[in-house]
Each structure stands twice: as structure tokens, then as C-alpha cells.
Chain A
Amino acid sequence: MFIGRDLDRVDALAKVLGTAGFAHDLRMEGMLFACVVRSTKPHALLRDVDVSGAYAVPGVLRVVSHKDIPGQNTFGALRKDQPFLAESRVRYVGEPILVVIGENEAVAREGAARVRIDYGEIDAVLEPDATGKGRQIYDTGSLMAYKKVRKGDVEKGSAASDVVVAHTFRTTWIDHAFLETEAGIGYVDEGGRIVIKSSTQNIHYKRVEISRLLAIPEERIRVVQATTGGGFGGKLDVTCEGFLALAVHLLKRPVFMRYTREESFLSNTKRHPLSIDYKTGARKDGTLTAVKVDITGDTGPYASYGDAVCLRVAVHATGPYEVPNVWADCKLLYTNNPVSGAMRGFGVPQLAFAHESQLDEVAEALGMDPIDIRIRNGLKRGSVTATGQVLSASAGFVETLKKIEPFWRARQKTKKGSGFGLGCMYYGIGNTGVANPANALVELGEEGRVILHTGACEIGQGSDTALLQIALETLGVARSDVLLDRGDTDTSKDAGSSSASRQTYISGKAVQEAALGLRAFLDEAGYYHRGRALGDIYRATKDKGRLLFEGFFNPPASGLDEATGQGIPYATYAFASHMTEVEVEEATGACRVKQVHAAHDVGKSINPKAIRGQICGGVAMGVGLALMEEFIPGKTASFDAYYIPTSLDMPRVEVFLVEDEEPTGPFGAKGVGEPALIPQAASVVNAVTDAVGVHVYELPCHVERLKGLIESKKTTK
């Protein structure tokens, strides 16, 4: 029995012993080093680029510009709109212009520092402008994406409300702050193919982009995932892989790259800053009648994952509540700020901050307990979501509230400044309203060893172990009988990205399908009933070719209506409730998060300890989002000024699991990667309000902002 067991993580031993080969650790005989010359201006024409200084540095071999690109100089997961290397214009600080390749890192960096660029500066667009009247980056206008959801009639719903609460919520840029910065190595193999090993969340997608960049077929490219030190969405876009491929293609020698922390901060995508106008209507008994949400966000100069964020926040506008009348608009606008992209939760953590604050204010206005209003309106089996989807199964939201209810009812403020808050969420597993399948292969190999081939990238979230457990359970074989082969485009088929909390659910199902194929074969061959050994079965059949079984799963969802957003965006949803206790010191504005009770409906827990790990990580990230993390363009350069929580900032975390099984998932499982984070900041903010009676409408609520709120409350008294 392998499901629901705390199996040791597949990667634990190598990581503990320090033998795991992270991308930063990769080395090859005779390798060169490449580094990127980046724009120092937010918006400028490149009048002249003088590389003679770089070539004057002994050991600099080549300075690569956009002119050296044999194929397409554009990439993008959803739109091909971002240049690998700027051509005549730069649109954000950090935009890549050149790649300098040298004999070693010192030489390459020295060469890069000696490039002289003559910029013709253009006034930068630094504020998103929804009017379209201001200065614009593109002739086509400032609007990058616009998504809407319409259900019922919000005006009627508002009119029928006894209480209406309206506020504007603001969030800012957040960096993924993965501990391993972007890195990788590239080389030409014996067959003349280009091989890239990198720190990444998706290998097959990277292969497509490299193929377009170099204008060579995908079969001539192999992408391998190195052990990856965190992703959180920041390694979904192409980072160093394109530059590595270009350098290897031009010089036919091994090339290594690693970004400095400063370069990572400068170049990587950020969480979208959102401005959320939120209006909630409710009847006296707490029943929600209408929700109107108008969201604008800053995408920077390119789309990255903006389309996915835009649609997802519109779809999730109400939070995990049944609301009869919904009007949600989300617009993302172009600026010359950093490129916003995918980050754990695709906009929903920002949105949860808004809908959970709103709900507490509605409850306050009605004199209700915050947990009662949530239980009353919570989505359950049979509920209709904002997009008109009927939840037919696996909707354990109210059960998550019930798990923490005893603690909530028993809560007691132990001292001045202590407070408690709730935060809840629901989250569609997988990509929104589009096909997002995964493949998996299970093989009976040499000596009867079962090999699980998966393209699902392990980024620390635990997919290796979860997928292995699903294979073991399905096959009923011993742990030592199965070998995991992960993250190599040569040996696996596309599993899609490790994003959107989708790998356990989607790849897990594909692994289960593939394993069922092998299981049927083994059954036929007498493994289960006649006790025939795997090795004997292999030897008896090996002459007939490889014993390879394929699995495939594409979650049953549908596209959404363009005008109304109605449809089935996801096959299944995760649900969660967090209760957080804080202590605020009024004198300093310091907020300490003391304890979190986190209840999650995961469908079926594959590995409870791994889920607990995800939730603790999500809580840490949520504490950062709520209280301290803030990327300020032009100012934030490194961890010196970008504060993420340390162990001293971590609360105690109690985890409760609800298992309302998802019929389409492997053994009923859904996902927990992003849900772990999403409700946390919201629950911290609500706890702060409970503690000191101030309302927080902008994140992060760092010491200075909170002290300011406390002070202005004193003066208005």
C-alpha cells in the first residue's frame, strides 16, 4: 500500500548528502561561460552598440547579438511576443541585448561590463493606463489582455442587498526568490544534437522554443532537467536556455551559464501587481447576493503568462462562495516595468486578499462571525460557480472550515495585540479552459525492473515521489522494483509544465493509466496469481521489443464563452481554509505570525508528509506576501533589500486534510502546490484587523505601513 503513506522523498538522500546535481553544479571539460548584457533603461532605442571593449578582453570569444539568431527571435508560452535579444529597442530594465561568451566566468563578465551602448531614451510608461489616452509602448494600445465573467445581474443583486461593501485593494511585484538562480549547461552530443540541461519547470516547452530560435527540428534538440532549486513559476518562461542553445550552436563547445542573484532579480518575471475594485452585496442573514470585481494589472512590456493570469483571476473572482450575480473584469496593461508572469497561484493569492477582506467586512456589518458567513455561502457539491459550472463531486470546502471550526470557536486573545483571521480559497487544478494533457510511460526493463518515464519536472514540490507512489500502488510491486527516469525529452513524452498545481492530478492520472497497461500485461504473464518473477517475465518477452506502456490524461474541461466567461474552466478544484493567529506590537507596527491552522481538501492524500511540506512552504510564502515582500523597480537589487521570511518569522503550522475524492484523479487526488499559499496572506490581513482594528487595503503590510495605519486610526478617533 503506497497511497496515503509518508514514503521518503525520492530526492531526499541526494539532497541531504549534497550529491544532487543542481544546475549550478554542472561542469564539463572545456566549457565556456556565457553572460548577458542587459538594458539599463526602461524604454530606449539602441542607437549604437559597441562591442570592441568586450573583444579587447583576452579570453572573450564571441559577442552574440540578435543578428546571430538563425531562426525566430521571439518566444513566449502563450504569445510569441518577447525577443530573446533586443533588436532596435528595449522595453524594460534588464531586457537582454547581447550574450558574451568567454573562456571563463570572470572573462565573460568582464567582457560584458565593457560593452558600450548608446541609448536613445524614450519616456517610459510606468503606470498602467486603462484609459488608453496616455503615452503608449505599442501602436496597438495599452491593453494586453481583457477577460470577463458575467453571471446573473449584479445591479439587481446589489439592489436586493441589505449591505454593500466596496473597497479597492492593491498588491505589488513579488519575486519568486527561488534559492537557485537561473542556470544551465549546453553542449553538442556525439550525434551532433544540441543538449541543454537547466533549472526548469518544463522541458518539452523549452525544446519547442529552442527549435524555433535555431530553426532546427525538435528531434535535433534534447532538453534535460537538472536538479532544480525552486521554481514557483519563475522557471516556466525561457530563462538561460535560449542563450545557451545559441552559444552552443555558434561555437560548438560546452557552455555554462548561471545568473547572479542581482541578475535574477532584474531579469525574472514577477507576480502581477493588481488593483482590485471589489464590491460585495449580502442579505441580512449573510447570504451573498452580488459580487462585482474590476481588476487592472501591470504586465510589463510583454505577455508572458499574463493571459492565463487574467482569465484565472476573472474566473476565481468570488472566491470559494456561491454567488448568484457576478460581474468580473480583468484587464492587463502594458508598461515599461518588469515583465509580470507566472507565480504560484497565477493572481489568485492577490485576489484572495481582496475577497477574504471583503467577506470579513460584510460579516462585521451584519454582526456575524466570520466563519458563519463562510459556511453559509461556501461552495459545496451541487453549487454553481461564477462560470456556471455545477460542482458534481470533490467539493470539500465546507469540510475544511469544519476542521478548523473548533479552534476558531475556542480562540482566545492572550495579550494586547493578538488577533485571529480566516482566509479561504478555491483553485482550479490545471490550465484554465484549455487542453492541458500529460503523457507518461511505464516500461518493463532490464532484469525485470519497472521504469517510470515522466516529463514532469520535479522542482521541489514532490512530483517525483507522488508519481512513483501512484505507479507502485497501481502495480502492486515493491519500491525496489521501480526506477524513476524523469525530466529528459529523449526518454519521456510531454507532461506539460510543473505549474497550476497540475502534476499530481494530471501526470498522476497518466502514470496510473500507463501502469494499468503494464499491470494488465503482468497479470496475463502470471505475476499476480502464479508468482512469476518480474525478471522472468522480462526475459521471456524481451525479444519482442520494448515493453512500453503509455498513459495519457487530459482533464475534462471546456473553453469559456468569450463574452460571459461561462463554461467549465477546470475539471476539478482544490479548497482550503487557513486560520492565523498574529501578534501586533502597536508601538512598532511589527506583526508576528504565531500559529496557522490549515485545512485542505486535496481529494486524496498521496503522501501526507509531502503535503504538509507544501503547506508549510505556502504559509511561509504567504507570510512574505502579507507582511514584507516588495520588489521596487529600480531599487530592489538583491536579498539585501528584498525580505523573505526566515525561520524566525515562521508560525507553528497545524495541517488538517480533507479527502473528498475527485473521480477523475489518480486514486481521487487533486493538487495542493498553489492552494498551500493562496489563503495565507488573506488570513494574516484579517488577523491584523482583528488585532488592532485597522483595515489593510494594500500589500505588503510591512512595519511602516502598519504603524501608519495604527497612527491614522488614533488621530481619527
Chain B
Amino acid sequence: MLPPFSYIAVHSKQEALTSLASLAGAALLAGGTDLLVRMKKGETHRYVIDLTGAAELSGVKDRGGTLRIGSGMTHARIGAHPAIAKTCGGLAAACSAVGSPQVRNMGTLGGNLVNASPAADSIAPLLVHNAVVTLESIDGMRSEKLERFITGPYRTTIGKHEILTSVEADTLAGYNEGYRRVAKRAGWAISRLSLAWALNDADGVFKDVRIAVGSCTPVPFRPREAEAFLAGKGRERPVVEEAVKMVLDEIRRISGMRPSFAYKLPVVRDLLLSVLGGDSCS
């Protein structure tokens, strides 16, 4: 059962920002698929501000080179959005894989990012797209790179009176991109491991390689050294193997050795070998 609280349904972004600033002990409900679970376990809030009615938080805008995605977009809507599928396919795939249909119908991109679970599906593909988040409060607006915004498991730089209003992601035309997650069953499951990638190669040479690994380190991350190593190199087995080794080393450097790595590292290895190697290396 939920503890008692006052429920506020706002009808605009401005109303949301004002309510958040003026009410002490308020939590934002951006779908509720995390908040309500925590509250059922006993977390209490005097006020719950439901952002569903704030239309400005929804929608997708193509800004030429980047895509601005409203934080109120549900996973289901992102998964089915033509523009996102076209230029941000990894994100569409990731959002289509979140939880269950019920969770995808309620849960939002903003909620997923602010909750900042190490297993959040949307983070890895957004890192690949160099995403920048926009945060607003009644005092103003700021932007921050997603990889700086998330500082640790379930920790971000969001201020008490701030709302994450939108996410801006690079459109990656001409890239081969994708998302893979591993879970204990085919659906309705948390990611045990996830991998997002976007590759740009021509004539067997890597031009730009972007990789992000989720559900492995405390925060999903980009293995920059391996990415830099690959740029300009031929798409050949020894090169790919060296890059994969660099990724695994980087995971160990970040997290140390963990019991779950007995499983996760060989999976990262094999998935990356097949993603980076393509048919030539499998």
C-alpha cells in the first residue's frame, strides 16, 4: 500500500516548476514506474507532482544535426517514433526493450535518466549519441552532457527545484547502430548487460566508432581509448580483438573484479567481437 500524499496534476511546464519550487517535500512523477515502487516499499513524500499533463515535455524536434526529445516521452512512444528510429535507432531499440508493455506505456525518458539506474536501458544509446540534457527551474535553464549529469548509481547533478525537460542527441546518419541487452528471460526483465554502438566505416576502415556498455559498471560508460584506437584502422580481426581487450581492461579498471564479471566480461567480449568484427570476424 502507498503511504499518504497529496497529488498535484500540473497542466504546463511552468506550473510544474512553480509547484516544485514552492512545495517542500515534493517528488516528481514522470510515469511512476520507479517512484511508486519505492513508495510502496515505504518511501514517503508530502506531495507528488504528476508531470503527465505538461505538454511541453512531450514531442520530438529535428533541429538539424540533433534531435530534441521531450523528457515526458514514454518508452513506448520513443520506440515507435519514425524520426528516432531513423537517426537514433539504438535508443528506439533500447526503449522498446524496457520492462514490460505496461512499464513502457508509463515510464518516460526523463524518469529513466533521473533515476539513473546502472541498468537503465536508455543511457547507453544516448551516450553513443553524445546526448546533452536540459534542466530547468524557476530560476533558469542549464544544459549538461549526459555523461556528466549521471555521477553514480542512482545519482545525478539534478537540483532540488530542477526538472529534466529535454534531451538532445546527435543524429547519426550513415552510421550502423544498434542496441543489445541480455536478460534472464525474453521480456519483462531488467538488463543484466547492455551494449549500444554506432559504427561509421567505409572500404573496410573504421572512420568513427562509438560504443557504450550498460549494466556492468556503476554508470554506463563509453570506452574512449578503445574507440580512439579503432578510428582509422582496418576492420580486421586482430584490430578488433585488441580493441575488445581494451574495453575489458577499462571495465576492470573502473569496477575492479566483481563476481558477476565471470559472466559479463565474456559476454561483452563476444558481443563486441561480433558487432565490431561484423561478418569478416565472426
Contacts and interface: CB of A to CB of B under 8 A. Distances in A.
Interface string A493-516: 000000000000000000000000
Interface in B171-193: 182-189, 192-193
Contacts of B257: none
Given A105-B1, A587-B271, A707 B266 contact: yes
A113 to B, nearest CB: 10
B267 A643 contact: no
A125 to B, nearest CB: 26
Interface residues of B, number: 19
B263 A589 contact: yes
B187 A646 contact: yes
A698 B94 CA distance: 32
A292 interface: no
Contacts of A703: 182-184, 192, 263
Interface in B25-49: none
A587 B1 contact: no
A134 interface: no
B270 interface: yes
Contacts of A628: 184-185
Given A703-B192, A708-B262, A708-B263, A649 B185 contact: yes
A590 interface: yes
Interface of B: 1, 100, 182-189, 192-193, 262-263, 266-267, 270-271, 274
A586 B273 CA distance: 12
Interface in A60-113: 105-106, 109
A17 B270 CA distance: 49
Interchain residue pairs A-B with the least CB separation, the first 8: A587-B270, A648-B186, A648-B187, A704-B263, A588-B182, A649-B186, A643-B184, A646-B188
A59 interface: no
Interface in A696-710: 702-704, 707-708
Contacts of A123: none
A604 B86 CA distance: 56
A628 B189 CA distance: 12
Interface residue tally on A, bucketed by range: 20 to 34
Contacts of B187: 646-649
14 contacts: A587-B271, A588-B182, A588-B267, A588-B270, A589-B263, A590-B182, A646-B188, A648-B186, A648-B188, A649-B185, A649-B186, A703-B183, A704-B192, A704-B263
B266 A106 contact: no
A312 interface: no
A412 B185 CA distance: 25
A628 B188 CA distance: 13
B263 A707 contact: yes
Contacts of A643: 184-185, 189
Interface of A: 105-106, 109, 586-590, 592, 627-628, 643, 645-649, 702-704, 707-708, 711
B187 to A, nearest CB: 4
A619 to B, nearest CB: 15
A455 B189 CA distance: 40
B271 A645 contact: no
Interface centre among B183, B184, B270 (most CB of A within 10 A): B184
Contact of A588 (B186, B188, B271): B271
B186 A586 contact: no
B267 A589 contact: yes
A648 B101 CA distance: 12
A702 B182 CA distance: 11
A482 to B, nearest CB: 41
A589 to B, nearest CB: 7
Contact of B185 (A106, A109, A646, A708): A646
A425 to B, nearest CB: 25
Contacts of A106: 1
Contacts of A627: 185
Contacts of B188: 646, 648
Nearest to A644: B185
A627 B183 CA distance: 12
A33 to B, nearest CB: 12
B268 to A, nearest CB: 10
Given A587-B271, A646-B186, 10 more contacts: A106-B1, A588-B271, A592-B186, A627-B185, A643-B184, A649-B186, A702-B184, A703-B263, A704-B192, A704-B262
Contacts of B184: 628, 643, 702-703
B267 A645 contact: no
Contacts of B189: 643
Contacts of B270: 586-588
Nearest to A706: B263
Contacts of B263: 589, 703-704, 707-708
A375 B266 CA distance: 41
Contacts of A105: 1
Interface centre among A587, A589, A643, A711 (most CB of B within 10 A): A587
A648 B185 contact: yes
A708 B263 CA distance: 7
A647 B189 CA distance: 13
Contacts of A590: 182
A645 B185 CA distance: 7
A174 B187 CA distance: 20
Contacts of B1: 105-106, 109
Given A105-B1, A707-B266, A707-B267, A587 B274 contact: yes
Interface centre among B183, B187, B266 (most CB of A within 10 A): B266
Contacts of A645: 185
A657 B26 CA distance: 61
A649 B189 CA distance: 12
